[in-house]
Amino acid sequence: MDKNYVVLPCNGLDKCAGCITREIALILKEKISCEIICPVFYRVADARYNKLANENQLIVIDGCNTRCATRLASEKNLKVYKKVNVSEVAQKNNITLSKELKVGEDEKRVIEIIINELLQENQNTSKDLEIKFPETLDYEIYKKDKFIFRLPKNGFYFNENDCWVYVDGNLARIGVTDYVQQSLSDIMFFNPPTVGNEISQFDEVGTIESGKAVFEIISPVSGKIVRINEKLLESPEYINENPYEKGWIADIELSDFESDKMLLLTFDEYFEKMKRKVDEFHV
């Protein structure tokens, strides 16, 4: 899964539709490893659930037109990613829900319809948010003693914090430059940003750590984190091997690149700055 979700079902367990919302939440938890917000606990102890809801995509599932889950989300000022109303889905598909609390065959059909729609929507969204990154890159190289510093020429921008961004439409991929990985030496840990988080230009989006130092990754652009390079969790050394290809950090859905670009460096501008840094500081 490229996105992290949290589900808020309604609390109407005295009605069949409410029981269905619980079943849907449990199935989603199993299929997409999402968290479930308990509406009862949320009303009395909201600190943990506020954090979950604000850091992930919130799916609200109402059982009926009372819309108690939607109203709770509104009371807590939560940003809702997707709303589902079980009774409306049943009516739309000419399914009559039981007056009993038991989930029968008709109710299972409603559950299946809703689950399939949610999973299909997620798959389509993931495909839409797939960045087209070049298969091969053309590098300019600067050498200092035994060290080689590569910098990709085309389509890349850089910030003063030695991080790069490659833009494809409304999507961007970010990472650190060769100067960073050479300065840190063997990178041992990668602490990623949270998928779904909204970030501003120059926000921290994770850290990488070697025996020498911890480096804060500063985002060149603003937007929403849609994907991280999960391979780095097990193999952070990919950043040392190639910080532009195998060692990229995250993909971002851009919010205002035209404004962000005004504060970024082109290849020529950053290459000159990098050479000065290497000559003056690199050991």
Place of tokens 């009371």: 75
Quickly count: other Cβ atoms within 10 Å of residue 147's Cβ.
Answer: 14
Q: At what angle do helices 105-128 and 16-32 cross, to 10 degrees?
A: 40
What's the whole-number mean pLDDT along residues 77-89? 89
For residue 209, is pLDDT > 90?
yes
Proportion of the chain above pLDDT 90, given as a percent: 67
Average pLDDT over residues 16-36: 90
- Domain 139-281: give its CATH architecture: Beta Barrel (2.40)
Question: What residue type is assigned to position 178 of the chain?
Answer: D
Tens digit of each residue's pLDDT (9 = 90 or more) over 98-114 = 888 888 899 999 999 99
130-189 pLDDT per residue, tens: 899 999 999 999 999 889 999 999 999 999 999 999 999 999 999 999 999 999 999 999
Q: What's the pTM value of the predicted model, to 2 decimals? A: 0.60
Rounded distance between C-alpha atoms, residue 84 and residue 259, angstroms: 36
Backbone angles phi, psi at 274, to 5 degrees: -65, -40
Query: Could you tell me the CA-to-CA distances from 63 to 52, 88, 114, 139 in Å, in that order?
Result: 22, 9, 12, 56
Q: Residue 2's pLDDT band (boundaries 50, 70, 90)? A: very low
- Of the segments 46-50, 120-124, 153-157, which one has the largest average pLDDT value? 153-157
C-alpha span between 59 and 221 (Å, rounded): 27
